[in-house]
Copies of this chain bind each other. A is one copy, B any other.
Amino acid sequence: MLPALHLPAVHTADSLAAIVADWRASGYSVGFVPTMGALHEGHIALVLKALELADRVVVSIFVNPTQFAPNEDLDRYPRTLEADSALLAAAGCHLLYAPEVEEIYPDGFATTIEVAGPALGLESDARPHFFSGVATVVARLLGQVRPDIAVFGEKDYQQLLVVRQIVADLALPVKIIAGETVRETDGLALSSRNRYLAPQERMQAGRLNVILRDLANALEDGEPLGAALAHARTLAGNVFDAVDYVEVRDALTLAALPAGRLDRPARVLAAVRAGSTRLIDNMSAKPG
């Protein structure tokens, strides 16, 4: 049988619920991958992971205004719905949910989910309202889709932990699955925002993963946290136009770590700017 080249799409929660209810009636499990569109291989890897774990997979495309600050790139965030739809169809996704803003935030919408713990610091320092926007929209989307599993990329590692936190705290009936970061040949983590990069910036950008990899390796080799971090921060400062943070944190909680050698699974994380484009990346670092 030829693969379906047309991807069914719904734009309202009611239409979505009707299809998911049919799937449930047929005994199918349901997987979900929320996205903001502008899809690339990183997203498709998440979809393929969902397809491994569930009988039917819904992908949402919704550029969530509440996770952008007024000075951020909401208006110029890339919107490529036709190309996205073709990529999803080719990947074997079963349904696209592409709601309008009014379907997610109807008149009278009044709820905000605030998260402490893993949401504190790092991304929140530069983007203080980001995780309440993410947590709220993810909870609403999970409520509308009601999947068995949902896949979130490790590329946005802090976001992944924030989503795990709200799912645990609100006892939401879904299992959160982490999807590995997909990288270019020079190691640059795929991101919808990479298309903003001018050629010179693209070359800069490729250095971020190298700095983080070297930092993770140094920590795994037993180098003390402070020295390894200082070195990585100096390098990042030399390469990038600005460094929001380079940090090493507890891999499960993002809590700060004691000085000295790694004593638990950690995550190295960074946010930098190449020109006006903000890049984030992160990697695992395990004690030797």
User: What is the interface of chain A, defined by CB distance below 8 A to chain B?
Assistant: 13, 108-119, 135, 139-140, 142-144, 146, 165-166, 169-173, 253
B143 and A111: CB pair below 8 A? no
A112, A140, A253: most-surrounded residue (chain B CB, <10 A): A112
B110 and A111: CB pair below 8 A? no
Identical copies in the complex: 2
A140 and B169: CB pair below 8 A? yes
Chain B residues closer than 8 Å to A143, beta-carbon distance: 170-173
What are 5 inter-chain pairs, A to B, with CB distance below 8 A? A108-B117, A109-B169, A110-B115, A111-B169, A144-B171
Q: Which residue of B lies closest to A162 (CB)?
A: B110
Supposing A143-B172, A144-B171 touch, asked if A113 and B110 sit within 8 A by C-beta, the answer is: no
A166 and B111: CB pair below 8 A? yes
Assembled-state Cα–Cα distance A37/B115 (Å): 29
How close is A99's CB to chain B, nearest CB, in angstroms?
12
A111 and B171: CB pair below 8 A? no
Chain B residues closer than 8 Å to A13, beta-carbon distance: 171
A119 and B115: CB pair below 8 A? no
Chain B residues closer than 8 Å to A171, beta-carbon distance: 13, 140, 142-144
A108, A135, A165: most-surrounded residue (chain B CB, <10 A): A108
